[in-house]
Amino acid sequence: MNKKLPFRFFTTHPRVVILEWDRKPDNTLLNQLIDFQKHILRRFKEVTQITQGYASLMLFHNTEVHHIADYSKKLYLIFESLPTKAVKKGRLWQIPVCYDNSFALDLKALALKLNLSPEALVELHTSASYQVYFIGFLPGFLYLGGLPKVLEHPRKIKPSPHVPQGSVGIGGKQTGIYPFDSPGGWYVIGKTPYPLFEPQKKKPCFAQTGDSIQFVPISKSEFMELDRQKKNGSLKLKPS
Amino acid sequence: MIEVIHPGLYSSIQDSGRFGQQFLGVPISGAMDQIAMHWANSLLNNPKDSAVLEMCFRGPKLLFHQSTAIALAGAHMNATLNGVKVQNLNAIEIKENDILEFGNASKGTRTYMAVAGGIQSPEILGSRSQFKGITTDSRLNKFKLIPFAKVSFVPKKGARLSIPKLDLKNLKITVYKGPDYDLLPFEAQNQLTKSVFTISPKNSRMAYFLEQKLIHEIPSLWTTPVLPGTVQCTPDGTLMILMRDAQTTGGYPRVLQVSDEGLNLLAQKSTRDSFQFHLRAV
């Protein structure tokens, strides 16, 4: 009796169920959430799509959800039978980023605030490996975990009205790439020439939840060359 | 083709939305008032989610390059065909070179125009709904050509759809509890379910911000999935109702979830309109 349930279960809409974990997101939870989604989609045909947050899932159904108590019990049982160790690691993507001042609009300012040299900041940013926790905010925007603690810094007080597509930024405990031109409050420290979201493709986004990302520094001339290839439509990331 | 002589204030091509791509961060989009879209399509014997033109506040001026039939539903926009007034909720015959012009919206905010056979702009990721970064254009632009299917549909004379009249003055929006509703203090819950709310000038296809604030102390969350109709509350108490073009994830507490019917009703409301939430169990 009184056994603690593994997650909280909400029906906030007749066809939507939200599951939430009272845990700090980490790689163990991430891998469990990925496994769990596969099991749910296989087992319950009425679940048409699942979206993910750091410690939550949203299940979309094609019919109204009934017998809530029974449904939640089934989900608890499936979750608790999952292995807690990661079975399969995602792919690794090495993303070329140019940290040149012409793109890294806020690199100097952020380095100053963090009490680092710009070179040390770039060195730290490129030496870490980041997990794709989920995709959200904008099409193809990867929520990445794994930013070194020394690089954490609150977002800008005044967001920039225009952050160019491909910009790599740091905000709070997060780092990420802007898939489209958009307003944004992160410190921009570099730019990738690679397209992040291509709606015309069958697989519009190269990465998926559970993959890993590394940033590889490139020079401005390398960036220009890759950017030329992008304009020809021949630029495509390959997993390592 | 339909030529856009003037695009109006905010017109866009919409259908039932881009469902199934949200795990990649793609908004659902689609017609803000799905019911009005269904009505307009049904008058032309179209499948009910065929792509239509959604027009907001002030409609466009359009030139038809071929004959077809159209139907209008939703807000009244004082539409004229070659200068002659046309009505909502009946099928209208269109001849080559006809000019259809819309005025300002009354009795609602958004008007829908269906075309016999449906608008045939390119389908991207399963939908024709226009959205920045997904479709070539994010809305209707001047001089653009809108393709439509060539079907022979002859409207029946006098055929008209009669629909129940909406009381837009005393609007009750049916909502369900959001995951964070129970974390709100009693006073805040009371305010949400008992008081009148007003839509602020900050309202768009992405979200409606409300004028009234909600006192609460729920901390921001680890980013979670959200969907159209999710009502979020920022740290300073600002309430925002996410609409069809909403992003797929968010970090603010989710206090309510608007029902499907409620979302369609809100689509016809705008700045300074007021309403009450009507809380119901799922």
Residue spans per domain, chain B:
2-146, 172-279
Mean pLDDT, residues B116-120 taken together: 97
User: What pLDDT is attached to residue A67?
Assistant: 93
Q: What's the complex ipTM? A: 0.94
Architecture of domain B2-146: Sandwich (2.60)
Q: Is the pLDDT of residue B89 over 70?
A: yes
Contact between chains at A13 and B259 (C-beta distance less than 8 A): yes
Q: Are residues B24 and A139, on separate chains, in Cβ contact within 8 Å?
A: yes
Torsion of CA A187, A189, A195, A199, to 10 degrees: 0
Per-window interface: B 60-99 vs A, CB < 8 A: none
List A residues 162-221 in contact with B (Cβ-Cβ < 8 A): 179-180, 197, 199-200, 204-205, 209
**Alpha carbon of A238: minimum distance to chain B alpha carbons (Å):** 19
Q: How confident is the prediction for chain B on average, in pLDDT?
A: 94
Find the closest chain A residue to B177 by CA distance. Answer: A12
Residue B81, both tokens? 């065909």
Look at residue A184 in the predicted model and tell me its pLDDT: 85
Tell me the CA end-to-end span of chain B in Å, nearest whole number: 44
Average pLDDT, stretch B22-48? 96
Q: What is the pLDDT of residue B169?
A: 67
Strands, E, within B89-228: which ranges?
91-94, 99-101, 106-115, 145-146, 172-177, 196-203, 207-213, 224-225
Rounded Cα–Cα distance for residues B129 and A27 (Å): 36
Interface check for A13 against chain B (CB to CB < 8 A): the answer is yes
Among A14, A52, A180, beta carbon nearest to B133: A180
Res. A3: pLDDT tops 80 = no
Whether B235 has its CB under 8 Å from any CB of chain A: the answer is no
- Choose the mutation target among B16, B24, B175, B247 for the interface with A, i.e. most A CBs under 10 Å: B24
In this model, does residue A156 exceed pLDDT 90?
A: no
Which pLDDT score, from 0 to 100, does residue B166 have? 66
The secondary structure of chain A as a DSSP string is --PPPSSEEEEEETTEEEEE--S---HHHHHHHHHHHHHHHHH-TTEEEEEE-SSEEEEEESS----HHHHHHHHHHHHHTS-SS-SS---EEEEEEE--TTT-TTHHHHHHHHT--HHHHHHHHHHS-EEEEEE-SSTT-EEEE---GGG-BPPPSS-EEEE-TTEEEEEBTEEEE-SSSEEE-SEEEEE--S-S--TTSSS--S--TT-EEEEEEE-HHHHHHHHHHHHHT-----B-
Average pLDDT over residues B17-40: 96
Ordered by where they begin, the domains of chain A are 8-80 (3.30.1360.40), 92-232 (2.40.100.10)
A2: pLDDT strictly greater than 60: no
**Does the CB of A21 have a partner CB in chain B at under 8 Å?**
no
Residue A1 confidence class, pLDDT cut points 50, 70, 90: very low
Residue B251 has pLDDT above 90, yes or no: no
Select from 3.40.50.1820, 1.10.3720.10, 2.40.100.10, 3.30.930.10 the CATH code of B172-279: 2.40.100.10
**CB pairs A-B closer than 8 Å:** 113
Interchain CB contact of A71 with B (< 8 Å): no
- Partners of residue A47 in chain B, C-beta under 8 Å: none
- Would you state the pLDDT for residue A137? 86
pLDDT in tens, B59-71: 999 999 999 999 9
CB contact under 8 A, B23 and A51: yes
DSSP secondary structure code for residue B183 in this structure = G
pTM for the predicted model, two decimal places? 0.93
- Length of chain B equals 282
pLDDT for the residue A188: 97
Q: Could you give the CA distance from residue B87 to residue B73 in angstroms, rounded to a whole number?
A: 9
Query: What is the mean predicted confidence (pLDDT) over B4-11?
Result: 97
Q: Which residues pair with B177 in a beta bridge?
A: B256
- Give Cα separations from B130 to A85, B29, B49, B135, B243 (angstroms): 42, 8, 15, 5, 15
Task: Show the CA angle centred on residue A64, arms to residues A59 and A69, nearest 5°.
Answer: 75
The pLDDT value recorded for residue A87 is 59
**Mean pLDDT, rounded, for A139-155:** 93
pLDDT confidence tier of residue B157, bands split at 50, 70 and 90: low
Query: What span, in angstroms and rounded, lies between the C-alpha atoms of A70 and A57?
Result: 18
Tens-digit pLDDT profile for residues A14-55: 999 999 999 988 888 999 999 999 999 999 999 999 999 999
Cα A48 to Cα A3, B19, B125: the distances in Å are: 31, 9, 16
Whole-angstrom distance, CA of residue A46 vs CA of residue A97: 42
Is pLDDT of A131 > 60? Answer: yes
Per-chain mean pLDDT for chain A = 92
